[in-house]
């Protein structure tokens, strides 16, 4: 049988720190997106010298590759905060269940100890636990 050794205050502390860091995901993702856009616009184009740049701008093969990279990693980037949130919630709920189980066990033991002695116990014939 395995033994659990959970320190609820320690779990709360770790979860609090994790949530604090996870709260910065949005800023990181904005910087990631802006970095890709900046890289794409600075990567150069395939416009011949002297030609006019199209109204929407011109992009070369590196910019195209960066755009494809961003599109293909979009789901991975969205996955991170959702997975983190679910993990934090799961750890919090598991710790709460652990504590509730401890309270139930303590209540059961106290209830058992508060019962009146049985005739067997009074006669000294009760099985020892």
Residue 86 has pLDDT above 90, yes or no: yes
Q: Is the pTM of this model over 0.75?
A: no
Distance from C-alpha of 29 to C-alpha of 74, rounded to nearest angstrom:
10
How confident is the model at residue 43, as a pLDDT? Answer: 78
pLDDT for 124 equals 81
Integer Cα distance of 110 and 98 in angstroms: 18
Does residue 129 lie in a domain region? Answer: no
Tell me which residue range forms the domain holding 76: 8-44+58-98
pLDDT for the residue 1: 54
Asked if the structure places residue 2 within a domain, the reply is: no
Assigned domain for 13 exists: yes
Q: Which of 1, 3, 4 is nearest to 99 (CA)?
A: 4
- Helix, strand, coil shares of the chain, percent, nearest 5, are 70, 0, 30
Number of domains in the chain: 1
């Amino acid at each position: 049988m395995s033994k659990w050794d959970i320190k609820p205050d320690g779990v709360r502390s770790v979860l609090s720190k994790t949530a604090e860091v996870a709260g910065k995901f949005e800023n990181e993702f904005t910087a990631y997106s802006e970095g890709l856009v900046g890289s794409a616009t600075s990567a150069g184009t395939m416009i011949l010298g002297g030609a006019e740049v199209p109204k929407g701008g011109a992009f070369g093969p590196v910019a195209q590759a960066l755009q494809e990279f961003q599109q293909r990693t979009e789901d991975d980037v969205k996955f991170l905060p959702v997975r983190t949130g679910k993990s934090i919630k799961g750890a919090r709920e598991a710790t709460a269940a652990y504590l509730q189980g401890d309270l139930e066990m303590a209540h059961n033991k106290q209830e058992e100890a508060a019962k009146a002695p049985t005739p067997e116990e009074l006669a000294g014939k009760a099985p020892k636990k």
